[in-house]
Amino acid sequence: MSGVRCIGRKLANLLCGVLAVCLLGGCGRLVYDMPYEPDSSVSSFNVVSRMDTRAAVPFAANLCVVTEDVEEEGLSLDLAEAAILCDVNRSQALYAKNAHEQLYPASLTKVMTALVALKYGSLDQTLTATASVNITESGAQLLRLKPGDTMTLDQALHILLIYSANDVAMMVAEGVGGSVENFVAMMNEEAKAIGATNTHFANPHGLTDEEHYTTAYDLYLIFNEAIKYETFLEIIHMNSYQTTYYDAQGKPKEVDKTTTNLFLRTDSQFKAPAGVTVIGGKTGTTQAAGHCLMLLARDVGGAPYIAVVLRAENGDNLYGEMIRLLEAIP
């Protein structure tokens, strides 16, 4: 008799298991009712409770997900290699072209440089320039730092994002990371952490390197993370910056720089479409990368959007394509 009872208990357990699986999986068209009682071992209350406690939040739950080109009626950005427009609040891509194509980012790199610096550095820490700031590449945007020059990280981030000085990027990297190499490793780790898996950085400024590349989608991910920092938002919204830093002998050096983002300049011919406000962003230009631009914009209701345009042939094409992209904002 004990053997029969044992078999009976096993059968009952098996039936309970099948019943739970059917409840969760559907089992075709059959419907199984269960008592919604907290004290019952096979109640729907307990099944739902267990489901809740074991639920995992998807990594991309609050992110735009792009697996292929996303078309918008009447919009075709033929003068840029890649582009993306994302509704931040709704986590929805409104437009995407070659969003996962690996391209050179030029100075859009500096958004990641700023993100890592804000995350691991302190705005009031003092940075000191070393010989690494002696960048000789033709056409590189420079503040003309000299070894021994000092400024705070806060000053450096303003110059980095507003004026896009490449030598300042090297100063930030050494000051926050201990060395340029270690800081670049931190940039790559941060890229992986936020899902930018088609990205690899080789330097903190974006000057051309075969091992330095990203995608329009990854830049959206990086920018989306950076705008969580109030300091970053404040800086990219500024159209100019004035400050004073010091040389190795303690003598003051004046800085007065205007933004490279033409949407923020009063003397620019390029204006955002009606109903759209450009908050700020980052420009980037090299011969290899072409002309690139990444923006945070808001609609008439204040909802945020991230727009990225990569590899336009010239500045007119770049801003023209960005305006067309921004016109897709509802």
Strand order in 240-246's β-sheet?
126-128, 150-152, 240-246, 252-258
Question: Using 50, 70 and 90 to split pLDDT, how confident is the model at 185?
Answer: very high
pLDDT at 40: 52
Q: How far is CA 245 from the centre of its chain?
A: 30
**Mean per-residue pLDDT, 106-128:** 98
For 198, half-sphere exposure in the C-beta direction (CA atoms, 13 angstrom radius) is 16
- Cα-Cα-Cα-Cα dihedral sign, residues 157, 163, 169, 171: negative
**Mean per-residue pLDDT, 12-31:** 48
Residue ranges of alpha helices (H) inside 121-165 are 153-162
Q: Extract the tokens encoding 306.
A: 């991230």
**pTM score of the predicted model:** 0.82
Break the chain into its structural domains and give their ranges.
2-54, 80-326
Question: Closest Cα partner for 175 from 153, 196, 159?
Answer: 153
* Between 46 and 303, the higher pLDDT residue: 303
**Mean per-residue pLDDT, 185-210:** 97
* Residues 316/302, Cβ–Cβ less than 8 Å: no
pLDDT above 90: residue 127: yes
Instruction: Specify the amino acid at residue 327.
Output: E
pLDDT at 33: 52
pLDDT in tens, 198-246: 999 999 999 999 999 999 999 999 999 999 999 999 999 999 999 999 9
pLDDT above 90: residue 152: yes
Q: 254 forms bridges with which residues in the sheet?
A: 244
pLDDT at 35: 53
Residue ranges of alpha helices (H) inside the chain are 2-25, 44-54, 109-120, 153-162, 166-177, 180-193, 216-226, 230-236, 315-326
Average pLDDT of the residues of the chain: 88
Instruction: Specify the amino acid at residue 90.
Output: R
Task: Give the torsion through C-alpha atoms of 166, 168, 171, 176, to 10 deg.
Answer: -100
Instruction: Specify the amino acid at residue 221.
Output: L
Give the percent of the chain with pLDDT over 90.
77
Query: From residue 158, how far is each of 19, 142, 197, 257 by CA, in Å?
Result: 62, 14, 28, 10
- C-alpha 219/C-alpha 294 separation (Å) is 8
CATH placement of domain 80-326: 3.40.710.10
pLDDT at 286: 96
Which H helix or E strand runs over 293? Answer: strand 290-298
Q: How far is CA 292 from the centre of its chain?
A: 15
Instruction: Specify the amino acid at residue 190.
Output: E
Q: Hunting for tokens 């056409």 — which residue is that?
A: 139
pLDDT above 80: residue 289: yes
pLDDT at 11: 46
- C-alpha 59/C-alpha 67 separation (Å) is 15
